[in-house]
């Protein structure tokens, strides 16, 4: 599924570049990925084998009114190819490819509570210092980490979560 999403994302990015619409399509893709991630109902509809493709298409076009024609074509293509369930993954992969193309990496910061603007600025500065690249910060909220944070940039991961520290302590005590 991930490989298919990457292939679709590459094709859409190539078309968008040819039509000088890559930034507009990227905005649409961010909107789609975020909306589906925040709406369990929409995610369920996209993954449901019971809901017809025409209803899925109508729902998507109604929810995302005013999106770029290339984004609409992407939805149509995924519907035609019976792959609409991977739309959120295509959207994420498109954004990743777009960011790489523009020399921007995405730093994913997982925290128990939402990042404040002040903290976002500090994270951006630290990541730029470490990687030497421009970065965009994406904040994922996961209460199970209890506190601290998990920072991912590309292949690098730094886990400073309370859960991770507790697990280290637990392993130390079980080894001794």
Rounded mean pLDDT of the chain?
Answer: 89
| Residue 18: Cβ-neighbour burial (10 angstroms; 0-12, 13-18, 19+) | exposed
Q: What is the pLDDT of residues 119-174, one digit of tens each?
A: 888 888 878 887 777 787 888 888 888 888 888 887 788 888 888 888 888 888 88
Specify the length of the chain in residues.
176
Q: Which of 72-81, 93-102, 125-134 has the highest mean pLDDT?
A: 72-81
58 DSSP 8-state letter: H
- Map out the domains of the chain with their CATH numbers: 2-100 (1.10.520.20), 103-175 (no CATH)
Round to whole Å and give the CA distance between 106 and 99. 7
Among 99, 136, 82, residue whose Cα is nearest residue 13: 99
């Amino acid at each position: 599924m991930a490989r298919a999403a990457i292939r679709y994302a590459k094709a859409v990015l190539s078309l968008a570049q040819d039509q000088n619409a890559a930034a507009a399509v990227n905005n649409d893709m961010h909107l789609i990925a975020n909306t589906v991630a925040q709406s369990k109902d929409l995610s369920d509809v996209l993954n449901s084998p019971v809901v017809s493709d025409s209803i899925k298409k109508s729902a998507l076009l109604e929810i995302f009114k005013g999106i770029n024609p290339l984004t609409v074509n992407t939805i149509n293509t995924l519907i035609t190819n019976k792959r609409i369930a991977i739309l959120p993954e295509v959207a994420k992969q498109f954004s990743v490819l777009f960011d790489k193309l523009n020399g921007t990496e995405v730093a994913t910061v997982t925290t128990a509570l939402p990042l404040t603007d002040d903290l976002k600025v500090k994270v951006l500065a630290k990541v730029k210092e470490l990687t030497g690249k421009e970065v965009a910060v994406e904040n994922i909220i996961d209460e199970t980490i209890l506190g601290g944070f998990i920072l991912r940039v590309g292949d690098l991961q730094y886990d400073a979560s309370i859960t991770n520290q507790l697990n280290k302590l637990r392993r130390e005590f079980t080894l001794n």
